[in-house]
Amino acid sequence: MGKKEEQLAELLGTLGDFTSKENWDKFFTIRGTDDSFEWYAEWSELRDPLLSHLPPQPQILVPGCGSSRLSEHLYDAGFTSITNIDFSKVAISDCLRRNVRHRPDMRWRVMDMTAMQFSEEAFDVVVDKGGLDALMEPEMGPKLGDQYLSEVRRVLKCGGKFVCLTLAESHVLALLFSKYRFGWKMGIHAIPQKPSSKPSLQAYMVVAEKEVSSVLQDVTTSFNKSSFACRGSQASGLLEAVDKENQIRREYSLGSDILYSLEELNLGARGDLTKLSPGSRFQLNLGGGSRFSYRAVVLDARESSGPFAYHCGVFIVPKTRAHEWLFSSEEGQWMVVESSKAARLVMILLDASHVSASMDDIQKDLSPLVKQLAPGKDDNGAQIPFMMASDGIKQRDIVHQVTSTITGPIIVEDVIYETVDGDISRILPSRDLTFRRLVFQRSEGLVQSEALLSEEGSNSKVVGETERKKANSSSRSKRKGIQKRSGETSHQLKVYHGYLASSYHTGIISGLMLISSYLESMASAHKSVKAVVIGLGAGLLPMFLNRCLPFVHTEVVELDPVVLKLAKEYFGFVEDDCLQSHVADGIQFVRNIANSAASDETSLVQDEKDAQCNTSSNGDFESKVISKVDILIIDVDSADSSSGMTCPAADFVDESFLQTVKDALSEKGLFIINLVSRSQAIKDTVISRMKVVFSHIFSLQLEEDVNEVIFGLCSASCIEEVCFPEAALQLEKLLKLEHPEISQSIINTTKKLRHLK
């Protein structure tokens, strides 16, 4: 080996950065003027497969030409309209001197292939021999390759071809496939190899044809896959990449809910974005060149939704609410579209990456991106409004945080709302009202429990400003999550159990009107009414029952002991003779009641038979009491928010469990379930199941709330709707309430009850 060859071998071995202009200038200087260098394949191997894909008399561009003689061979084969570019001045100068006399029509220009200085659609064919591979060194990332392929797409005419000679490494194919997925027809061919005793890498020719149609087509291969797969990891990697890409294309073609990129949309993946397509919906990753990236959903309003106030609107969903059914499900998103009054709505779902950014920063970052998604060319510069899902909270203080192995992260927080219910503001008009909330992070949008804090509350933890200052002064207490006990500060605020802050709790109490006659008869006879509440939350509903309906004996069941501890320490939940709690599985608890009641009935029947056969019986069977329940309330959340039902868990509305509930209830028993779902189909399913089991079904739909409280009566006879006012007054007399405004709120809610026949 001569000195020159030794220098060349050394340079190739240490070149490292194939994107460096200086490295390539040095390389071509050492190589010399007349000594060409060929990547991958010689002309004898390339000739037939390459020429078969060239149209007659094409305008050909050869980017990254280097010192290769490929252009010269094409010229000699009759293709004389060839432009060669390379960012190495040394390479271009050498090639120009070599060809200026023999190939006078050949053009040579010093130019960066990632930023070409040609007009759009200037060429019929772009022939790349190793250029893309050189730009796609793994440690350099895909940026230069991405820029280059964008330029190729720009300078190619419609119907033009990009012929890429490559080793087809997985990271190169991944970029090539994604960039030329929409509006391209692509095939892969293996370049014939010379017989050799030494193993060598296989070179491939990828041919991508630019089309007008956005119809996705499979990537085709011209070789026998079964025999080709035996050629080692390079071949098997290629086949795997092709299969994966074709699967992606088929999913797109089937309309699967896949994330598009803005570039794909601009390429026509969803047709002409400037035109509205009523009822269409697609998702995309929005970003590229902006400060942040965003997950977005684009929805064109249905024709029945008009008239529209805006041609295009942006609706930002904060991270804390992005998981909610209203924003995460297709059905919920269409509801947002209708309320937005926008012909096209771009819904932006924020995530953890946006937490540190202000809304102003996000809006500025989004503005140029959403403009590319706006419909119409003649909107006269109409502004695109930004809307946002808000929780209406003026102030929030975290009181306590804990993570449960059952429920996950739980937060106790105190909030002051921008506006509050008129009834309670009249009762306590002097200051901003503070509410304590229990929030399960697995379903943040749904506040599990909410209590009013007041100076006339029952014993509970203190939330005063003085306490917060003391807590902040102790870093040790902070670290351990220790809170000050009640009685340690003045001006104490405590949970007030005579008021139900949650409207659905008020709805549950108002539904007791359906059995108010039975409740009055039991209270008059000084007998206890048995109630079971499945789902403790903060214990506010059981405490209200205990305080305001003292003749009701309540048992509350909670699966998570951490939740019970929080209810006692932060929400003033206190047990007594008429209120007990159980840490147990709610479904099994109800089954045990039903089984026990069935056993008591069997025993009672047997005692009657024994009495009839034994005249000496003392009649003890008459004193036996069957342990059934009069009121059974299901108020539990679902760990699986993707079901479309936030409350309850699906098992609690299973037909077999509903039958168990009926078996556990007394003859006059009332079943109450808090149903939270924005899907009318899901609500209808639950109601139809309940109709099979219970004699009468009533519904209470709360205004501006996703909660619907469903009531099931066991008795064949029930109160007529014309008697509701009288029954409501009966319930009002039974309630021991300190403020008539609260009583009136419950009575007003009874007017919303509807009999589902």
Report pLDDT for 614. 54
Helices (H), 207-257: 225-228, 233-253
CB 662, CB 693: distance < 8 Å: yes
Going from the C-alpha of 589 to that of each of 134, 508, 531, 727, the distances in angstroms are 68, 21, 13, 31
CA 352, distance to chain mean position in Å, is 12
Count CB-CB contacts under 10 A for residue 437: 21
Report pLDDT for 383. 82
Question: What are phi and psi for residue 110, nearest 5 degrees?
Answer: -80, 115
CA 696, distance to chain mean position in Å, is 38
Report pLDDT for 358. 82
CB 136, CB 176: distance < 8 Å: no
DSSP 8-state secondary structure symbol assigned to residue 321: G
Question: What are phi and psi for residue 89, nearest 5 degrees?
Answer: -65, -30
For the chain, domains (ranges, CATH) are 7-254 (3.40.50.150), 260-388 (3.40.50), 393-454 (no CATH), 503-600+624-755 (3.40.50.150)
DSSP per position, 688-724: HHHHHH-SEEEEEEPTT-SEEEEEEE-SSS---GGGH
Report pLDDT for 237. 86
Report pLDDT for 513. 95
Count CB-CB contacts under 10 A for residue 612: 9
Report pLDDT for 482. 33
Report pLDDT for 216. 82
Which residue carries 């803005």 as its tokens?
A: 262
Report pLDDT for 35. 53
Going from the C-alpha of 51 to that of each of 45, 74, 77, 187, the distances in angstroms are 11, 8, 9, 15
Distance (Å, whole) CA 383 – CA 361: 18
On whether the pTM is more than 0.85, the answer is no
Angle at 373 (CA atoms; ends 369, 374), nearest 5 degrees: 115
Which residue carries 């930004």 as its tokens?
A: 386
Q: Reduced to 3 states, what is the DSSP secondary structure of residue 576?
A: strand
Residues of the chain with pLDDT under 50: 1-2, 4-5, 7-8, 11-12, 14-16, 378, 458-491, 605, 615-626
